[in-house]
Amino acid sequence: MLTTAYALLFYFATIVLVAGLAWRIYEYATVPAPLKIPTTPAPTTRRGVIFRMGREVVLFESLFKSNKWIWLFGWLFHVALAVVILRHLRYFIEPVWSWVVFVQPFGVYAGFAMVVGLLGLWARRFLVPRVRYISAPSDHLMLALIVAIGLSGLGMKFIARTDIVAVKAFFLGLMRFDVQPLPADPALLVHLTLVALLMIIFPFSKLLHAPGVFFSPSRNQVDNPRERRHLAAWAARMDRQPGE
Amino acid sequence: MADADTIDRPEATDLPDPLEMPKLCPGAMAGSTPYPAKPDHNKALGFPGELVDDWHDRAIDKMGELLGKYRSFRVYLDSCVKCGACTDKCHYFLGSGDPKNMPVARQDLLRKVYRRHFTLAGKYFPKLVGAADLTEDVLDDWYSYFHQCSQCRRCSVFCPYGIDTAEISMAAREILDTVGKGQKYCNEILGKVHKIGNNLGLPEPALEATLEDLEEDIEEETGVPVKLPLNVEGADILLITPSADFFAEPHIDGLIGYAKVFHQAGVSWTLSSYASEAANFAMFIGSYDQMREVALRIRKAALDLGVKRIVVGECGHAWRVAYSFWNTLAGPFDFLDPNYPIPQHICEFTYDLIQKGELTFDKSKNDHMTLTFHDSCNVSRASRMGDMPGGQFEIPRAIIKAVCNNYVDMAPDTIRESTFCCGGGGGLLTDEIMDIRKKGAQPRMRALRQVADENGVTHMAAICAICKTQFTKVMPEFGFDRESIVSVHQLVSNAIVLDPPQDAGAPEEDDEDDVPAAVEMAQESEEAVQAAAEEK
Ligand code: SF4
Ligand code: SF4
């Protein structure tokens, strides 16, 4: 019963996440950017734009220019999250790739770093009047959700250990459509419920900044308007109309 | 000084930090609203004359339409994580402390309505995600605060996703226009461009008279017959310059500078009375159609006159439109000479000649000044000069250094890509909102105060007609002389050594009034002349 419920939950969450994101990305990709609006100085070549985007996504370059505290906490959280996700790969592959094995110990530190980063960002929402002003309840809840995911995960590692072999069997089973029993440990159930929740709200929330950044015209456009005519389809139609 | 009413901060003379954080003063600027456009101004641009009865539905429909037409708008409304990185980046916030002038809060005025109508979360849990209905109060808030954004893009530099509040402001203004809530300053001016060819409403005879007066003045002063040709068919170069250059100070000194450079370069050039305006206020109101129409005038002028090149005078947003948008809006310009940039900035033109050693300067002519340079926002963050990214910073500085001995930059976090808007850009250069204009100028004025007191800077050069007009107006409020703002090509004009004329003979004509003749002919009311002076 419990196992079935969680199996269904994760199938549902995965479908929502994948379909929701695909839909958003399709939208972002198909809505035209009719004008050249890179924030300059901007690269004058495609390759330059890839570097710019790379620095933005990997190093958070603009954020670094802007505010060192937000950068510190934000970058710490995101990098730690990436490592934690890599650590979790072992639940989905068999045999476990050797670099995933290598990542395992770092994943634990990253778990703490992630929570620290999040708490730093959250503290700003209370302590900095400007940030308090712009925070909606959902901004707090989002942080609470991810902190709770982190803490429940760390809890399973250090306080109430769960049967990770069985957990792995459950997820491998899900991927093969052959559902295996899930251990009924409270920490695990909380952890998994919250993760599924996060997956479900992802495509409907500000977490869309993840795909969004790649579609930001101020960052992804090449600075070459004089050399190449840039024309959106709806704008090109105006050109063809008589009596300009 | 209306400047310090709500916020406790030291006098400008105490060298306060240009980036100093104000205390939050909610609602401080709620009352700052530009005059609404008269029905005629709106209708002339195809907008409803006044607020329509079904404004709510029309506004939401328009928002939906824009979401399908502009990727920036679509992506930016979803992507903000409320990190707060932009909150202290806007000059209007730094000057006023009004939290709705924090870029993200400004976006949120519109985003909350977007969420309510276009997102699942906002439909079902509005309170939770800060979604709200579009009420009349919200509409009024839009009108106030989207006219407290000069679309300078400073916030977009610092946002981790490049979210550009300017894009949101433009969309908001387009929605406001669609429901009949246009702004007088922009819409009235656009009407003049469509009818007469420039923001000023300066008709051809007046323009011609002004140029003739100028030619006489230059010849009187230098003994060299430098020409300012108008409507010359077959000229090589068409100069498109902001119409403020025709009579406002210090703009006109810049125009004289361009003329002298053209003269020395020995090129044939002309102005056009049909397209006697570089400014394109349609960008400010976010209207692609309007912007295209204004740009097409320039294409037509270039075709009719049969020119080979287009050079653009000193103007910030005009250069953005020219550099970034002309090719899109009015291109392809395949009838122009591809060996030169299309279009070319006057600074690029002058810089090239300097590089080739074709201009001679007597730098000592500028020795009575110590200069600094104000990077104009649209040039800095929305365009380029030369081949290299950042040429928009280097080229004007290289010109100034070539013609002046004394040059000092302002604090690094207030120049180049981090430059502050003058406070009057984006269609805000109108007197009824002088309070926010002054507050917006504060960061720049403080940065200038630092170099004035510490490095003896006496003058600030700029390459934007709006900047020049705005600073002329607000500098006295900060203890500077109104004449301490100068055109870059004014400095060129001072220092350039002109070849003596082949055949001597300066006409002995005593024409004292250089400006009024033109203005009278333009039959401008006092107020219209005012607006004209502030015109781009
Ligand atoms: S910096 Fe960008 S993401 Fe952060 S609050 Fe401002 S607009 Fe939103
Ligand atoms: S574009 Fe400029 S004026 Fe507008 S919110 Fe951003 S920083 Fe402020």
Residue nearest to atom 8 of ligand 1 (CA): B80
Complex ipTM: 0.95
The finding on whether B129 has its CB within 6 A of some atom of ligand 1 is no
Q: Which two tokens stand for residue B427?
A: 């269609």
Give mean pLDDT, residues B8-30.
Answer: 78
Domain map (residue ranges) of chain A: 2-66+136-240
Which of B63, B67, B79 to probe the A interface (max A CBs under 10 A)? B79
Is the CB of residue B377 less than 8 Å from the CB of residue B148?
Answer: no
pLDDT at A1: 85
C-alpha distances (whole Å) from B414 to each of A219, B208, B377, B380 are 22, 40, 11, 12
The finding on whether B78 has its CB within 6 A of some atom of ligand 1 is no
Is the CB of residue A108 less than 8 Å from the CB of residue A61?
Answer: no
Q: What is the pLDDT of residues B421-439, one digit of tens each?
A: 999 999 999 999 999 999 9
Residue nearest to atom 4 of ligand 1 (CA): B83
The rounded distance, in Å, linking the Cα atoms of A1 and B105 is 47
pLDDT at A239: 83
Give mean pLDDT, residues B157-180.
Answer: 98
Instruction: Determine the atom of ligand 1 nearest the C-alpha atom of A70.
Output: 4
| Among B527, B154, B100, B187, CA closest to B375 | B154
The finding on whether B152 has its CB within 6 A of some atom of ligand 2 is yes
Confidence of residue B16 (pLDDT cuts 50, 70, 90): confident
Radius of gyration (Cα) for chain B, nearest Å?
A: 23
Of chain B, the end-to-end C-alpha distance in Å amounts to 26
| HSE toward the beta carbon, residue B2, CA cutoff 13 A | 14
Give mean pLDDT, residues B441-459.
Answer: 97
Q: Which two tokens stand for residue B402?
A: 């070539």
Confidence of residue B500 (pLDDT cuts 50, 70, 90): confident
Query: Is the pLDDT at B442 greater than 60, yes or no?
Result: yes
The finding on whether B106 has its CB within 6 A of some atom of ligand 2 is yes
Q: All domains of chain B, ordered by start, with CATH?
A: 39-187 (1.10.1060), 197-408+457-495 (no CATH)
Residue nearest to atom 8 of ligand 2 (CA): B90
Instruction: Please give the distance, rounded to the nearest whole angstrom, from the Cα atom of residue B151 to the centre of ligand 2.
Output: 5
How does the average pLDDT of chain B come out, rounded? 92
Q: What is the pLDDT of residues B355-403, one digit of tens each?
A: 999 999 999 999 999 999 999 999 999 999 999 999 999 999 999 999 9
The rounded distance, in Å, linking the Cα atoms of A71 and B241 is 42
Residue B445 is given by DSSP the state H
Is the CB of residue B451 less than 8 Å from the CB of residue B457?
Answer: yes
Q: Which residues contact A137 (CB under 8 A, 6 or more apart)?
A: B127, B128, B129, B130
> Residues B59, B64, B66, B71: is their CA dihedral positive or negative?
positive
Give B58 or B12, the one with higher predicted confidence: B58
pLDDT at B490: 98
Instruction: Please give the distance, rounded to the nearest whole angstrom, from the Cα atom of residue B85 to the centre of ligand 1.
Output: 6
The rounded distance, in Å, linking the Cα atoms of B406 and B481 is 19
CB contacts < 8 A, A to B, total 209
Confidence of residue A13 (pLDDT cuts 50, 70, 90): very high
The finding on whether B147 has its CB within 6 A of some atom of ligand 2 is no
Measured between CB atoms, which of A33, A128, A231 is closest to B84? A128
Residue nearest to atom 5 of ligand 2 (CA): B103
Contact assignment for A56 to B119 by CB distance below 8 Å = no
pTM of the predicted protein model? 0.92
The rounded distance, in Å, linking the Cα atoms of B354 and B396 is 12
Contact assignment for B76 to A216 by CB distance below 8 Å = yes
Cβ-count burial B510-534 (b if 16+ within 10 Å, e if not): eeeeebebbbebbebeeebbebbbb
Confidence of residue A240 (pLDDT cuts 50, 70, 90): confident
Of chain A, the end-to-end C-alpha distance in Å amounts to 68
**Can you spell out the DSSP letters for A105-144?**
HHHHHHHHHHHHHHHHHHHHHHH-HHHHHH--HHHHHHHH
| Among B484, B496, B488, B473, CA closest to B449 | B484
pLDDT at B15: 78
The rounded distance, in Å, linking the Cα atoms of B456 and B458 is 6
Torsion of CA B104, B107, B109, B114, to 10 degrees: -130
Q: What percent of chain B has pLDDT over 70?
A: 91
Instruction: Please give the distance, rounded to the nearest whole angstrom, from the Cα atom of residue B87 to the centre of ligand 1.
Output: 8
Q: Which residues contact A58 (CB under 8 A, 6 or more apart)?
A: none
Q: Which of B161, B165, B168 to mutate to test the pocket of ligand 1 (most atoms within 8 A of CB)?
A: B161
pLDDT at B252: 97
Q: How near does any CA of chain B get to the CA of A150, in Å?
A: 20
Q: What is the pLDDT of residues B25-80, one digit of tens each?
A: 999 999 999 999 999 999 999 999 999 999 999 999 999 999 999 999 999 999 99
